[in-house]
Structure 1
Amino acid sequence: MRKAEKLAGLPPYIFAQLDEKVYRLRESGVKDIVDLGKADPDHPTPDAVVKRLQETAADPENHHYPAFRGSLFFREHIAKWYKERFGVNVDPEKEVIALIGSKEGLFHISLAYLQQGDVGLVPDPSFPAYNDGVFFAGGETYRMKLTRENHYLPDLQSIPEEIKKRTQLMFLNYPNNPTGVLAPDTYIQEVIRFAQENRIIVCYDHAYCEIYYDGKKPRSFLEFEGGKDVGVEFITFSKTFNMAGWRLGAAFGNEEIINSLLVVQSHINSGVFSPIQFAGVTALEQVWHTDFPETNRKEYQRRRDYAMDKFRSIGWDVHKPDATVYLWVPVPQGMTSLDFANKLLDEYRVVVAPGNAFGQTGEGFVRLSLTTAYENVVKGIDRLCEAITKWRTS
């Protein structure tokens, strides 16, 4: 069968490849594989959320098509949460839209604003959906390098004038996947000035706003003066409430941008199943006000701290993340990211994501996810450190 030529230009989706390789190993009888490759929370969704889904799914009134923008009930409650969490007022009728997970919105925003000749600024390394959305929209990706030397912040001054003139969208993500860093307030202010001067829309991926450590609470992009004028922020229930498979998120911000996203989504999907929206409201109204978020953070921090202590014990220089569920780990000299990931799986039965899956600047690193049980983190990190110690001297 003849495939669309466009598919040939897409890089392979590394997480699907990892899943397939692990599946084949397990089917062949291999056991004791530690998966640090993908960010799928190991703890269950809170009982109150599950119960609300069950109750509302049983009501025939919720079996109809939902509103494309999301129910006003959901939007009002998530706007209320946003005000409580960030101190930002958003109009639930005009400045909020429900999403089938934040990934959907981050992909579709490019379809709303890019066409051939337009540019999307994408961090490198970064979540693949940014680049993929730009690609499918027919735009051109300009990669903004994130390195330890620039504190994993894009150097806006280095972007060529010719690129800036054609740029419509800029994607940013802090707390950052995969590096785990936070952006200083002064940098966000610089981004807003840059966007205003160049008439660029900022798409701020805030997926990890509730997974932070040592009291370093992330701020919303819309908290900053001018933020709502130039941008839209995306959040997800996946990590905050262990709801990865539920596919629920939202976007907040500039009314015109939200409406443009709505136009695209109304042609592609039929909205979020209403009972899932009701369950999301329960998560915001009940679960978020309990000790659940802090308990979640403490558990992830326990896992992070074990890993960092172990890396220090072997003298391996790993950046200590301030937030997210990830570790960004350099590979031994002389090995590529993919070589290291494959060798680690084959010889030590540990799954990690090769850094070049997130962009060329990710070469030389692997991303580890801490979304598995503590004992698995211990086992996986111990094996990883054993491998590093062996291969860095061989």
Structure 2
Amino acid sequence: MLKADKLKGLPPYIFARLDERVYKLRESGVKDIVDFGKADPDHSTPQAVVKRLQETAADPENHHYPAFKGSLFFREHVAKWYQERFGVTVDPETEVIALLGSKEGLFHISLAYVSQGDIGLVPDPSFPAYNDGVFFAGGEVLRMPLTKENGYLPDLDSLDEATRQRAKILFLNYPNNPTGVFAPPEFMERAIRFCQEHEILLCYDHAYSEVYLDDANKPKSLLEFPGGKDVGVEFFTFSKTFNMAGWRLGAAVGNAEVINSLLVVQSHINSGIFAPIQFAGVTALTEVTHSNFPQEQRDEYKRRFEYALGKFREIGWDVHPPDGTVYLWVPTPQNMNGEEFANHLLDEYHVVVAPGTAFGETGDRYVRLSLTTQYENVVKGIDRICQALQKQA
């Protein structure tokens, strides 16, 4: 059968390709593989969250179709958490919507705001869902390079007037995947003014808001900045914060009109989130947030980063220290691009990394490492990568 034309212009999802290659390697008998590819937390979901799911799943009252927008109980607790964590007030009735993970919302938002001929402003490198949502909505993707020289911030001032007039949506993500950097407050203020001036929707991916390395430098919400709620919406996920990647739970918070538009799209596509998962999410936002779990998890990621960055320094490899997230953005040897180096590491050293081009052309000379594997594996995998880099230097 003939596929839709749009599928012909869409490359295979890089992480599906990585999974297939790793699967074949394991099938060939290779067992000792270190996987830095996907950001799938290695630690289990907190037991209190699991217990709440079990208890509420046993109640037949929770077996019916859930509300498209998410239960008011869940939305109220998201609003309370935003007040407690960021000091911002949002209305759970109109300014919060539950998501099947933030990826769903980041993809679907373009279906609500981008039409054929419109431009979506997408950082490069960035999470593929931004690009894919604009593409499926029929819009034109304009990639905005994030480089070490520009502090991994998009240059909004470089856009000409014609582009600004056609642009309908701008995606930002800090702490940033894949570079790990934060955006300074003055940049966020500039981005909000830019969107106000040109009537552009600002979509802020805040997936790593709780994965930071310095307690004195916590990530700020878009909604903390004056005008943030007027021009934008923020996407939060339980995946990294609470090790709930497979649970598929998130939320969008912000401008009421945007939240309602997202609801219209999602009500035509899915039938909501299983109520016990929402109850479990509330337990994460209340009990787990006030336990030792968040800090212990941050401390563990910090331990992994310190080992990796120390080894890269030992061999003189220039890797930018991240402010947060679970990633390292590692330059490749001069004689290899990201895909070639990723293949080399997998074939010769049995280490899985994501080629930088999975996140955009600007990542051509990088690979992304996700340190979501046990410390012992981090040590083993980083040592192998450093060995490979020294041989290629």
Once the two structures are TM-superposed, the CA of residue 348 in structure 1 deviates from its matched residue by 0.2
2:139 is aligned with 1:133: no
Taking only the aligned residue pairs, the percentage that are identical comes to: 75
Once the two structures are TM-superposed, the CA of residue 23 in structure 1 deviates from its matched residue by 0.6
Once the two structures are TM-superposed, the CA of residue 2 in structure 1 deviates from its matched residue by 1.2
User: Corresponding residue for 2:43?
Assistant: 43
User: Corresponding residue for 2:6?
Assistant: 6
2:339 is aligned with 1:338: yes
User: Corresponding residue for 2:378?
Assistant: 377
* Secondary structure at the counterpart of residue 253 of structure 2: strand
Once the two structures are TM-superposed, the CA of residue 27 in structure 1 deviates from its matched residue by 1.3
Query: Runs in 1 of length 4+ with deviation above 3 angstroms?
Result: none
Once the two structures are TM-superposed, the CA of residue 334 in structure 1 deviates from its matched residue by 1.7
User: Corresponding residue for 1:164?
Assistant: 164
Query: In structure 1, what residue type is equivalent to 2:345?
Result: L
* Secondary structure at the counterpart of residue 222 of structure 1: helix
1:170-209 correspondence to structure 2 within 5 Å: 170-209=170-209
C-alpha separation between the residues in 1 aligned to 2:65 and 2:264?
17
C-alpha separation between the residues in 1 aligned to 2:12 and 2:124?
16
* Secondary structure at the counterpart of residue 335 of structure 1: coil
Residue-by-residue CA offset, 1:27-46 (whole Å, 9 max, x unaligned): 12111000001100000000
User: Corresponding residue for 1:227?
Assistant: 228
* Secondary structure at the counterpart of residue 289 of structure 2: helix
Query: In structure 1, what residue type is equivalent to 2:157?
Result: Q
TM-score (structure 1 length as normaliser): 0.99
User: Corresponding residue for 2:369?
Assistant: 368
Question: Once structures 1 and 2 are overlaid, which stretch shifts more, 233-242 or 9-18?
Answer: 9-18
User: Corresponding residue for 2:273?
Assistant: 272
1:303-314 correspondence to structure 2 within 5 Å: 303-314=304-315
* Secondary structure at the counterpart of residue 135 of structure 1: helix
User: Corresponding residue for 1:356?
Assistant: 357
2:53 is aligned with 1:65: no
Query: In structure 2, what residue type is equivalent to 1:80?
Result: K
- The RMSD of aligned alpha carbons is 0.5
1:21-170 correspondence to structure 2 within 5 Å: 21-170=21-170
User: Corresponding residue for 1:293?
Assistant: 294
* Secondary structure at the counterpart of residue 148 of structure 2: coil
Once the two structures are TM-superposed, the CA of residue 368 in structure 1 deviates from its matched residue by 0.1
Residue-by-residue CA offset, 1:31-72 (whole Å, 9 max, x unaligned): 100000110000000000000000101100000000000000
Once the two structures are TM-superposed, the CA of residue 223 in structure 1 deviates from its matched residue by 0.3
* Secondary structure at the counterpart of residue 381 of structure 2: helix
TM-score (structure 2 length as normaliser): 0.99
* Secondary structure at the counterpart of residue 289 of structure 1: coil
Once the two structures are TM-superposed, the CA of residue 134 in structure 1 deviates from its matched residue by 0.2
Once the two structures are TM-superposed, the CA of residue 131 in structure 1 deviates from its matched residue by 0.1
* Secondary structure at the counterpart of residue 272 of structure 1: coil
* Secondary structure at the counterpart of residue 202 of structure 1: strand
C-alpha separation between the residues in 2 aligned to 1:176 and 1:351?
21
C-alpha separation between the residues in 1 aligned to 2:166 and 2:214?
40
User: Corresponding residue for 2:17?
Assistant: 17
Once the two structures are TM-superposed, the CA of residue 76 in structure 1 deviates from its matched residue by 0.3
User: Corresponding residue for 2:250?
Assistant: 249
Query: In structure 2, what residue type is equivalent to 1:83?
Result: Q
* Secondary structure at the counterpart of residue 268 of structure 1: coil
C-alpha separation between the residues in 2 aligned to 1:65 and 1:159?
45
Count of residue pairs the alignment pairs up: 392
Query: In structure 2, what residue type is equivalent to 1:308?
Result: L
Once the two structures are TM-superposed, the CA of residue 286 in structure 1 deviates from its matched residue by 0.2
Residue-by-residue CA offset, 1:288-327 (whole Å, 9 max, x unaligned): 1011000000000000010000000000000000000000
C-alpha separation between the residues in 2 aligned to 1:119 and 1:5?
20
Residue-by-residue CA offset, 1:194-221 (whole Å, 9 max, x unaligned): 0000110000000000000122200000
C-alpha separation between the residues in 1 aligned to 2:183 and 2:277?
32
C-alpha separation between the residues in 2 aligned to 1:81 and 1:337?
39
Residue-by-residue CA offset, 1:87-132 (whole Å, 9 max, x unaligned): 0000000000000000000000000011110010000000000000
User: Corresponding residue for 1:323?
Assistant: 324
* Secondary structure at the counterpart of residue 302 of structure 2: helix
Could you tell me which runs of 5 or more consecutive residues in structure 1 were left unpaired when the two chains were aligned: none
Could you tell me which runs of 5 or more consecutive residues in structure 2 were left unpaired when the two chains were aligned: none
Query: In structure 2, what residue type is equivalent to 1:232?
Result: V
Once the two structures are TM-superposed, the CA of residue 391 in structure 1 deviates from its matched residue by 1.1
